[in-house]
């Protein structure tokens, strides 16, 4: 695994943008896997800057987001579709029809299962994903693949842990409003993506980063599956890297 340690969140965003854009420029069409949460915001800011100042073109980019809460409509301000529109899509020239965020409005379990299969098929139909952006939870989760998730899992509905609901409660009026379920790409979905970049900043992520990189490959730390990925890069700030013992990190 490649690790790039940078000084802060802004640098993390710039370095990750460079990795993705250098790869993107080699392809006529590009399939990008996107994530939500506070971590990728500096990356999205840099992509927006590159679009506005350098003319970076997104018109042939197809995107698939990792996850969405079940029960939230696209116009709910805590839905991940809303987040993507506000933090990236509306600021660049991506074709909205080519952006995919799992549909959180389906509530029937059988229909959700069928929809999740279709989501995987949609990714396969465009030739698979080129680059996946990931954050990491304090418990090592990626997407909403909580500890214990099968390392081979595909897109499906997951129950959120109490900890994840507490972590996200700050965005809702009360804990009761935090959804209990989400649709998420699986760990197996991420393993099929050609290249993966995991971003982390801040000391609260240091234990999870260490477990993911230096611990055993285990479903108890879903991000540790990336040890088996052929092209996974961690771009992390110094605080998130502070518990690593390996000395193979690149700096800058």
Residues annotated catalytic, as ranges: 67, 139, 141, 146
Least distance to ligand PGA, CB of residue 195, Å = 18
Stretch that binds ligand PGA, among 14-22, 92-100, 105-113, 131-139 (CB under 6 A): 131-139
Q: How far is the CB of 219 from ligand PGA (least distance, A)?
A: 16
Among residues 37, 71, 147, 215, the one that binds ligand PGA under rule CB under 6 A: 37
CB of residue 251 to ligand PGA, shortest distance in Å: 22
Among 42, 135, 140, 186, binds ligand PGA (CB under 6 A): 135
Q: Which member of 2, 7, 38, 86 binds ligand PGA (CB under 6 A)?
A: 38
Q: Contact at 8 Å (CB) between 82 and 74? A: yes
Based on CB atoms, which residue is closest to ligand PGA, 56 or 88?
A: 88
Q: Supply the minimum distance, in Å, between the C-beta of residue 220 and ligand PGA.
A: 16
* Residues 39, 189, 196, 226, CA torsion sign: positive
Cα dihedral sign, 46-48-51-57: positive
206 near ligand PGA (CB under 6 A) = no
Helices 41-54, 9-24: crossing angle, 10 deg rounding: 60
Nearest by Cα to 232 from 19, 14, 18, 26: 19
Nearest to 63 by CA among 15, 113, 133, 8: 133
CB of 135 to ligand PGA, least distance (A): 3
Q: Which is nearer to ligand PGA, 106 or 212 (CB)?
A: 212
Residue spans of beta strands (DSSP E) within 104-167: 131-134, 156-159
Q: Which is nearer to ligand PGA, 141 or 156 (CB)?
A: 141
Q: Do the Cβ atoms of 214 and 151 come closer than 8 Å?
A: no
**Mask 44-83, x = binds ligand PGA (CB under 6 A)?**
----------------------------------------
DSSP 167-209: HHGGGSSSGGGS-SEEEE--HHHHHHSSEEEEEE-SGGGHHHH
Using CB under 6 A, pick the residue from 42, 137, 186, 222 that binds ligand PGA.
Answer: 137
Q: Where does residue 230 rank: exposed (0-12), middle (13-18), buried (19+ CB within 10 A)?
A: exposed
Query: Phi and psi dihedrals of 247, rounded to 5?
Result: -115, 30
User: Any contact of residue 136 with ligand PGA (CB under 6 A)?
Assistant: yes
Among residues 31 and 209, whose Cβ is nearest to ligand PGA?
A: 209
User: Which residues lie near ligand PGA (CB under 6 A)?
Assistant: 37-39, 135-137, 141
């Amino acid at each position: 695994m490649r690790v790039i340690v940078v000084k802060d969140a802004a640098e993390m965003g710039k370095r990750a943008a460079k990795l993705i854009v250098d790869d993107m420029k080699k392809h006529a069409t590009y399939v990008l896997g996107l994530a939500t949460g506070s971590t990728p915001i500096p990356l999205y800011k840099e992509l927006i800057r590159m679009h506005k100042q350098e003319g970076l073109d997104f018109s042939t980019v197809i995107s698939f987001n990792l996850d969405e809460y079940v029960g939230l409509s696209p116009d709910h301000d805590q839905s991940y579709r809303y987040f993507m529109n506000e933090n990236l899509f509306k600021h660049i020239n991506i074709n909205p029809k080519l952006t995919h965020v799992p549909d959180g409005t389906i509530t029937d379990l059988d229909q959700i299962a069928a929809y999740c299969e279709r989501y995987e098929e949609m990714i396969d139909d465009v030739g698979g994903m080129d680059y996946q952006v990931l954050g990491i939870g304090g418990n090592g989760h990626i997407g909403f693949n909580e500890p214990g998730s099968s390392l081979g899992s595909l897109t499906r509905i997951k129950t959120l842990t109490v900890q994840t609901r507490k972590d996200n409660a700050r965005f809702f009026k009360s804990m009761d409003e935090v959804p209990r379920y989400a649709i998420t790409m699986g760990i197996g979905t991420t393993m099929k993506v050609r290249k993966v970049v995991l971003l982390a900043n801040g000391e609260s992520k240091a234990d999870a980063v260490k477990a993911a990189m230096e611990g055993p490959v285990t479903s108890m730390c879903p991000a540790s599956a990336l040890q088996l990925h052929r092209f996974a890069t961690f771009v992390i700030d110094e605080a998130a890297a502070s518990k690593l013992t390996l000395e193979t990190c690149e700096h800058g």
